[in-house]
Chains A and B, each alone.
Chain A
Amino acid sequence: MKELMKGNEAIAEAAVRGGCRAFFGYPITPQNEIPEYMSWRLFEVGGTYVQAESEVAAINMVYGAAGAGARAMTSSSSPGISLKQEGISYICCSRLPCVIVNMVRGGPGLGGIQPAQSDYFQATKGGGHGDYHMLVYGPASVQECVNIMYDAFDKADKYRVPVMILGDGMLGQIMEPVELPEFKDLSKLPRKNWATYGDGTGEKRNIINSLLIEPDELEAHNKLLADTYAEMARNETMCEEYLCDDAEIVLTAYGTVARIAKSAVNILREQGKKVGLLRPITLYPFPNDAFRKVAEQDCVKEFVCTELSMGQMIEDVKLATGMLKPVHFYGRCGGNVMTPEDLVEFVLKEGK
């Protein structure tokens, strides 16, 4: 049976059902419903919750709990995610599975509190210091948030990486009907043989660490991380193709914007224009192959990348398509959101 739920609350419930038993948060708009929900919900399922003194502390609590083998997560919004970057870098080096939700608001600086996609670079290119990536999803509906969140801990455990769900203020606040999955059986999860459960001594003790002071040791670790990301790219890349088979113009967008773009595609199709949509669901790894394949179609004349930023994902679109076809850009920012009609107008003006 479907329930009507707000995006943020649906993500929180999906996290609990997916096995989250430790949440560490700090208030920031527009994601407050996640920590608010977790603050009572986790204690109902034998979990724990701390309202940390800062985002810095919250991500380091995630480090400790994830290092101790628990399914731990945090959520925040852009300025708070910036504060978490130190911890995320340490988490990536120490290979700790966890989940981080970013309900993006406009920046830079304190910016605004309205929806934006201006943290794409930060989310997909590392974000903090060092050479690392996360598994980054850009869901487009509340149901997709639920589905991705529900499996996020499994993915995090599989690759020993943090999973980031890159939403936006709209996705967090919107109410939509969702189907919630059953609780995962945590008793069936294997013991993490690298975690500090506290029972280790001698050769069996575990150390969670990101200090690799010998150059060869650190280089080998960097290569191990790179191999992990390559494997992630082979197995986890997700992309939605919509009416691209005969498209002359292909819109590209992720998250909420992809839904607006899809409406624009439908309007343009009604007008007889051959327009399609290519929507990355994983933002890292980026669906390079799907973009390349579409770019190689003879019918495709050009791409239009649309984002709530001054142009960030467009760099990956250009790389992935090998610039075989021109890539135009239409962006809004500051919390302003384009309408389908804005996109229709842009496509009719720019499209040949």
Chain B
Amino acid sequence: MAVVYKKSKMLTDTPFHYCPGCTHGIAHKLVAEVLEEMGAEGNVVGVAPVGCAVFAYKYFNCDMQEAAHGRAPAVATGIKRVLPDKFVFAYQGDGDLASIGMAEIVHAATRGEKITVIFINNAIYGMTGGQMAPTTLEGQKATTCIYGRNPEVNGHPIKMCELLATLTGPSYIARGALTDPANVRKAKKMIKTAFEHQAQKKGFSFVELLSSCPTNWGMTTEQALEYVKTDMQKLYPLGVFKEV
């Protein structure tokens, strides 16, 4: 019988712990497939975040380091500086990257560290139970803004791709969405381009992936994906923000 689909060699056999309808699993799969297609097996160090993807070190079939909350770009910097010929990537969520780790991501980017950062933006703190994230939309409900995010009280959401694209250090900045097969394919292409930039030592590469969190948004899977396509994409448009 012909094999039409196979799990990537860059994923372990450990089952994901993610909630039903969460897109972390798709993001993991895409990163793993890209690394495998690039022949990177046995040539990679990944850095896991704190947040829903804290166990990412169990899933990627490569050497992994688990970073403190928000510090993944600093940890990845340390790794890449001593292993300049290995692929080094950090995988982070929005609380990790755009809140507590804002200094680390901005400075890794502006230094032009030859690392790839995968940024999962689902506009919520998932692991801790649905608190407001730096990327939570105006009016979006969370356990720490139960009537919806009010900019007067809670400030405004942060657009990471737009922010990082102003810097000289990054060579590739793109935003995709994990909402449907067409967008998933586009997201994979972005991830591949990002790792190619790293392979060519062009600069810092960054892919944001708009993701759904039905559990903490209080939605069905379909509603959550629809929310990404409409409300989220309105604030966070898809595309390539910088390519050198």
B28 sits at the interface (CB 8 A): no
Chain A interface size, as a band, is 35 or more
Given contacts A64-B47, A68-B79, A68-B82, are A205 and B104 in contact (CB under 8 A)?
Answer: no
A142 sits at the interface (CB 8 A): no
CA distance A206 to B61 in the complex (A): 10
A323 sits at the interface (CB 8 A): no
* Residue from the set A22, A70, A207, A211 with the largest chain B CB neighbour count within 10 Å: A207
Given contacts A202-B61, A208-B66, are A52 and B107 in contact (CB under 8 A)?
Answer: yes
- Interface code A205-221, partner B: CB below 8 Å = 1, 0 otherwise? 11111110000000000
Please, which residues of chain B bring their CB within 8 A of the CB of A61?
74-75, 77-78, 81
Which residues of A in the span 37-58 have a Cβ within 8 Å of any Cβ on B?
A: 48, 50, 52-54, 56-58
A86 & B68 in contact (Cβ 8 Å cutoff): yes
Choose from B42, B79, B88 the contact partner of A200 (Cβ within 8 Å). B42
B78 & A201 in contact (Cβ 8 Å cutoff): no
Query: How far does the Cβ of B5 sit from chain A's closest Cβ, in whole Å?
Result: 21
Which residues of B in the span 76-118 have a Cβ within 8 Å of any Cβ on A?
A: 76-83, 86-88, 103-104, 106-107, 111
Given contacts A57-B107, A198-B45, are A67 and B65 in contact (CB under 8 A)?
Answer: yes
CA distance A211 to B103 in the complex (A): 23
A64 & B76 in contact (Cβ 8 Å cutoff): yes
Given contacts A54-B103, A61-B75, are A208 and B64 in contact (CB under 8 A)?
Answer: yes
A60 sits at the interface (CB 8 A): yes
Query: How far does the Cβ of A24 sit from chain B's closest Cβ, in whole Å?
Result: 7
Which residues of A in the span 206-248 have a Cβ within 8 Å of any Cβ on B?
A: 206-211
Choose from A22, A56, A68, A211 the contact partner of B71 (Cβ within 8 Å). A56
The size of the chain B interface, using a CB distance under 8 A, is: 36
Please, which residues of chain A bring their CB within 8 A of the CB of B106?
53
CA distance A7 to B123 in the complex (A): 50
* Residue from the set B64, B76, B80, B82 with the largest chain A CB neighbour count within 10 Å: B82
A48 & B68 in contact (Cβ 8 Å cutoff): no
The B contact surface, by secondary structure, is: mixed
A200 & B62 in contact (Cβ 8 Å cutoff): yes
Choose from A53, A199, A210 the contact partner of B66 (Cβ within 8 Å). A210
- Interface code A181-211, partner B: CB below 8 Å = 1, 0 otherwise? 0000000000000001111111001111111
A87 & B82 in contact (Cβ 8 Å cutoff): no
Please, which residues of chain B bring their CB within 8 A of the CB of A69?
82
Please, which residues of chain A bring their CB within 8 A of the CB of B68?
60, 63, 86-87, 90
CA distance A57 to B81 in the complex (A): 14
B54 sits at the interface (CB 8 A): yes
Please, which residues of chain A bring their CB within 8 A of the CB of B104?
53, 56-57, 60
A202 closest partner in B (C-beta): B61
A65 sits at the interface (CB 8 A): yes
A205 & B78 in contact (Cβ 8 Å cutoff): no
- Interface code B3-38, partner A: CB below 8 Å = 1, 0 otherwise? 000000100000000000000000000000000000
Query: How far does the Cβ of A277 sit from chain B's closest Cβ, in whole Å?
Result: 41
Query: How far does the Cβ of A127 sit from chain B's closest Cβ, in whole Å?
Result: 15
Given contacts A22-B82, A53-B107, A63-B75, are A209 and B66 in contact (CB under 8 A)?
Answer: yes
Please, which residues of chain B bring their CB within 8 A of the CB of A65?
78-79, 81-82
- Interface code A19-31, partner B: CB below 8 Å = 1, 0 otherwise? 0011010000000
CA distance A172 to B86 in the complex (A): 37
B222 sits at the interface (CB 8 A): no
CA distance A63 to B66 in the complex (A): 10
Choose from A24, A209, A210 the contact partner of B78 (Cβ within 8 Å). A24
B78 & A22 in contact (Cβ 8 Å cutoff): yes
A67-B79, A94-B66 given; 7 more Cβ-contact pairs under 8 Å: A54-B103, A63-B68, A64-B75, A64-B77, A65-B78, A198-B63, A201-B42
